Amino acid sequence: MQSSKFHLLFHFHYWLVWTSIGKLGEIKLAGLSVNAQKEMGSKSSTKFYRIPEGKGTYSVGCTDLMTDHTIQGSFFRLYYPSQNGTSSEETQWIPRKEYYGGLSDFLNMYRMLGETFLQYYVGSVTCPAKWNAAFKPGEKYPLIIFSHGLGAFRTIYSAICIEMASQGFIVAAVEHRDKSASATYYYKENSVSEAREETTEDLEEEWIYYRKLKRGEQEFPLRHQQVQQRTEECIKALDLILDINSGKHVVNVLPLNFDWTLLKDSIDSNRIAVIGHSFGAATAIETLSRETRFKGSVHQSFPDFTFLIGSVVGKIFKLKGEIDPNIAIDISNKASLAFLQKHLGLEKDFDQWDALIDGVGCNVIPGTNIDLPLTQPESVE
């Protein structure tokens, strides 16, 4: 069966901020097209779906960090270059059953039905990063802060984050607590634990679920408030990681066996970027406007669901497009890496994909499907 050509149902947003003048210096968008590979007959029901491994030279580890158990604290998943042979355990993709409930609400499914369906369909999925593997010291790695889209959470962009870590980046995927995630949580103190050391033994979980718009409610005020909180959470994550880089001791509320001291002096504080998808892209732009330590940002294309959901199910719940997700994510990641090398001044070989930034390639349509306002040419003095 000959494959057909489809237009990709997403676009890149490349946002370059010139921090020296403190304003947005360039906006570039490219629409893409790819060859879709259709599943045939009954093969689609037996096809094994898996989140793709990173294509870089580094092994990838993964862990979670929650500091200050309250809602004001910081919570993110860290993807990083890891030492080989220090862990054989792959990372569980969706770590808690409460996330299935949140996803069900966001997808407008009855919660009991949605939880059962999602647990059956993706409950055993792991992502190709070794859980709590030892961090690989000895290099200066650039840092990426990642902000998820509406209805997402810290774990479901692992295909992007793992690829970046395999190429030599440290990636902190923030889980936002502004009610834009389908689900997240923090810990409340019991009255008997207020004076005790910060651990989960005497704390009670408090779950936060996605807040839908009320009937007749205007969207802008809510989204504006959310993006401000999200920006603060991205900056908190950056501050926390740079504290770890400087050797400051941090207490992880989560009972995980990971040696954070290995990250000391391992982050290149002159090469820091923020990446966001969808509403996370808006978060990235707001973060860039308020924090000059960030050099640039990228709007990525796909959450992990595109690799794990079959065509029929994906279309029903609008979690999958018509195109081969492996082709799409490969183009997206290569263009992102080329962009990051160009604007972070990395000494890698990512410039081999510079043409994608300019919309040149056999699977790329130059230009944009977004109407942009005409800009006035700058006057020459």
In the numeric block, which tokens belong to residue 79? 């993807």
Distance CA 271, CA 278 (A): 23
For tokens 């982050």, name the residue: 267
Nearest to 186 by CA among 170, 175, 173, 197: 175
Nearest to 332 by CA among 61, 14, 59: 14
Nearest to 11 by CA among 307, 370, 284: 370
Cβ–Cβ under 8 Å, residues 324 and 37: yes
Burial class of 70 by CB neighbour count within 10 A (0 to 12, 13 to 18, 19+): middle
CB within 8 Å of 111: residues ≥ 6 apart: 101, 104, 105
Q: Which domains, from first to last, does the chain contain?
A: 5-35+50-357 (3.40.50.1820)
pLDDT tens per residue across span 38-93: 333 333 333 446 899 999 999 999 999 999 999 999 999 999 999 999 999 999 99
DSSP state of 135: B
Burial class of 305 by CB neighbour count within 10 A (0 to 12, 13 to 18, 19+): buried
Residue 94: phi, psi to the nearest 5?
A: -110, 110
Residue 23: per-residue pLDDT: 27
Query: Which 3 state secondary structure label does DSSP give 17?
Result: strand
Apex CA 165: angle with CA 335 and CA 305, to 5°?
70
Burial class of 219 by CB neighbour count within 10 A (0 to 12, 13 to 18, 19+): exposed
Walk along the chain (381 residues) and give the pLDDT tens digit of each residue.
333 222 222 223 333 222 222 223 222 323 333 332 333 333 333 344 689 999 999 999 999 999 999 999 999 999 999 999 999 999 999 999 999 999 999 999 999 999 999 999 899 999 999 999 999 999 999 999 999 999 999 999 999 999 999 999 999 999 999 999 999 999 998 765 454 555 566 789 999 999 999 999 999 999 999 999 999 999 999 999 999 999 999 999 999 999 999 999 999 999 999 988 889 989 988 998 898 888 675 433 455 655 565 555 555 555 555 556 677 777 777 777 888 888 888 888 888 878 777 776 666 656 655 565 565 544 444
Distance CA 36, CA 325 (A): 9
Distance CA 23, CA 7 (A): 33
